[in-house]
Amino acid sequence: MISNPYIFIIYYLSIPISLIGFGSFFFSINKNFKISSNYGYVGLTGILIICIYSYLSSFFIKHSDIHNIIILILGIISFFYFNYKNNHQNRILVFFLVVYFIGFLIFKTHDDFPYYHFKYTYYLTQMPSVIGIGNFNLGLRTPSSIFYLNSLYYLPFIKYFMFQMAAFSIFLFSNIILINKIIKNNVEKNFDFLTYYYLLSFIFINIFFYRISEHGTDRSAQILILILIGEILFFVNFKSNIEKILSKLFLLIAIIISLKAFYVLYVIFFSIIIYKLYKSYMFKEIFLCLFSNFYLYFLLVLFSLILLVNFINSGCLVYPVSFTCFDSFDWAISTSEVKELNNWYEQWSKAGATPNYRVEDPDIYIKNLNWVPNWINEYFFTKVSDFILGLIMLCSLMLLTFFPYNKIDKDKNDRKINFVLLIIIILFTEWFYNHPTLRYGGYCLIAALFFIITATKLEKNKFNFEKSKKRIVFFIVLSLIIFLTRNIDRILKEHKQYAYNPLINVYYKVEDSYFELDAKLRKKKNNYNLCILNQADCREDEIYGIKKILNIYVFYKK
């Protein structure tokens, strides 16, 4: 495919605008739906709406380029109709789109992209959902809203070269949320502890997560978790519009869960919300407050769709949690295989497996805390220790910059953070015991602990507002400069190693092997009668049968 940088740039600008357009349209339906004028939340609302549509439509139609360009244009029209006068937010959006463009230029994708991210997304663009698709590839048993959102960006001329846009959009809108919150506190001349928490989160996301290609499903979810924790801290420490704050929390948790199913554990944060509501309202009022919120139903609908897609892919409601599996269905993965693969994922996350190394007895290794000594040697003193050192340096730099400490503001009350810290520690314990790799939730949990403690320390110091303002601006500018510098260095390395030149070809690398699933699926789909009559034709790729029920193809193993 001939690379056209102009088409690439047009789509790069158009897709975030379209998502904000869908969010703006939803806000216009009812004044109670509008949770914020912040483009970050408007864009995330657009993502939620489009994800629900993508899941639903995938049951009936393929997400072809013609279908997708119509969806894109509708969002763009909505954006200009509702936001043409919103100059402040438009300027912020344009600024970040310009700054982040260098990070969007990608040649080398992450390891999971060719394995199943690309395959799953591309499959959605070629045919409606197929029952039993999990029999073709292990990765196709774990759907994510990233794939369903990306499938709507299979577009004319550029085809499948916008499949990094979902992760980028979450990155973009999250940073817009954070910067708007910092600006709001600046306008109000009130740098409370959340200002420092948001600033630390902004710096962290732009420096630690500077490689958009590495985000996938995991880092996108963890970015949103940092914002979720910030909103909960705001809710328990400040007076707020309960309906709007609940809407934001439902919105965030809906997208987080849809990115990876095991993040459903993070609904535990709602215990804090229920507790505060319980102290302030009667039970009936709490019930009405929760169940009259439209975003709760968005959350329930999206979660139900995720369970349904998991089920038709693998026979499990949440793969690979074996007790949610029903292997009596023709297409279902056997429970024994699910358990085996769950043990493999646990073994891998506990440093019991690498490309060049395997422990001798995996079943014994993953039990209890047998794995801890090896995990410390193989993983902690390479990845985790470096990460914690980076956080210590970041927080220390913040504390030193806002020196001195002897001027303590005794009038400031202690913040209500203990309950939040307790929930984070509970989630951290679950993370450490079951899947102690940073990509499975470790980044955000460890970072949040550092940021909350540092932010509360900073708030207690008496600062001159103007000096504090300049220092905050300095950190924002510095983090963006580091983001740009690291991405320029990355592109130079990709140019040296892979001859990548974005001035000539702006697209990421795609090889024939990326389409392997599509070739197999088309063969089976077009010859399903032959497959049923002659089982030998199916065994070559371990798919032993295929049925057609109400025009839907069902693939299964004997």
- Please report the DSSP string for 390-437 in residue order: HHHHHHHHHHHHT---S-B-TTSPPPS-HHHHHHHHHHHHHHHHH---
Burial 10-43 (b: 16+ CB within 10 A, else e): ebbbbbbbbbbbbbbbbbeeeeeebbbebbbbbb
> What is the CA angle 117-482-98, rounded to 5?
70
Report yes or no: 232 and 420 within 8 Å, Cβ to Cβ: yes
Q: What is the pLDDT of residue 550?
A: 47
Which letter does DSSP use for residue 159 in this model?
A: B
Q: What is the pLDDT of residue 255?
A: 96
The pTM (predicted TM-score) of the whole model is 0.91
369, amino acid identity: L
Cβ atoms within 10 Å, residue 543: 21
289, amino acid identity: C
Is the backbone peptide bond immediately before 143 cis, with ω within 30 degrees of 0? no
Strand, helix or coil for residue 50: helix
| Token output for 8 | 């690439």
Q: What are phi and psi of 305, to 5 degrees?
A: -65, -40
CA distance 152 to 533: 37
398, amino acid identity: M
Which helix (H) or strand (E) is 47 found in, with range? helix 39-58
Dump the DSSP string for 342-396. Answer: HHHHHHHHTTSEETTEE-S-HHHHTSTTTTHHHHIIIIIIIIIHHHHHHHHHHHH
Q: Which of 44, 82, 558 is nearest to 327 (CA)?
A: 558
Q: What is the pLDDT of residue 522?
A: 56
CA distance 485 to 29: 43
Which helix (H) or strand (E) is 237 found in, with range? helix 218-237
Q: What is the pLDDT of residue 87?
A: 86
Q: Which of 296, 295, 297, 306 is nearest to 41 (CA)?
A: 295
CA distance 231 to 242: 11
CA distance 255 to 170: 10
Q: Which of 302, 3, 278 is nearest to 145 (CA)?
A: 302
CA distance 310 to 500: 37
Q: Which residue has the tokens 């937010």?
A: 89
Report yes or no: 332 and 339 within 8 Å, Cβ to Cβ: no
The angle, 0 to 180 degrees and rounded to 10, between the axes of the packed helices 465-498 and 87-104 is 30
pLDDT (tens place) for every residue of the chain, 558 residues total: 556 788 999 999 999 999 999 999 999 998 878 888 899 999 999 999 999 999 999 999 999 999 999 999 999 999 999 988 888 999 999 999 999 999 999 998 888 888 888 989 999 998 888 888 888 778 788 899 999 999 999 999 999 999 999 999 999 999 999 999 999 887 777 788 899 999 999 999 999 999 998 888 889 999 999 999 999 999 888 877 788 888 999 999 999 999 988 888 888 988 888 887 777 666 666 677 777 888 999 999 999 999 999 999 989 998 888 888 988 887 888 888 888 888 888 888 888 887 677 888 888 888 888 899 999 998 999 899 999 999 999 999 998 887 665 455 555 557 888 999 999 999 999 999 999 999 999 999 999 999 999 999 888 776 667 778 888 999 999 999 999 999 999 999 999 999 998 888 899 988 877 876 655 555 555 544 444 444 444 444 455 555 555 445 566 655
Over residues 466-481, the pLDDT tens digits come to 778 888 999 999 999 9
327, amino acid identity: D
CA distance 18 to 152: 12
Q: Which of 53, 49, 23, 47 is nearest to 37 (CA)?
A: 23
Over residues 57-114, the pLDDT tens digits come to 999 999 999 999 999 999 999 999 998 888 899 999 999 999 999 999 999 888 888 8
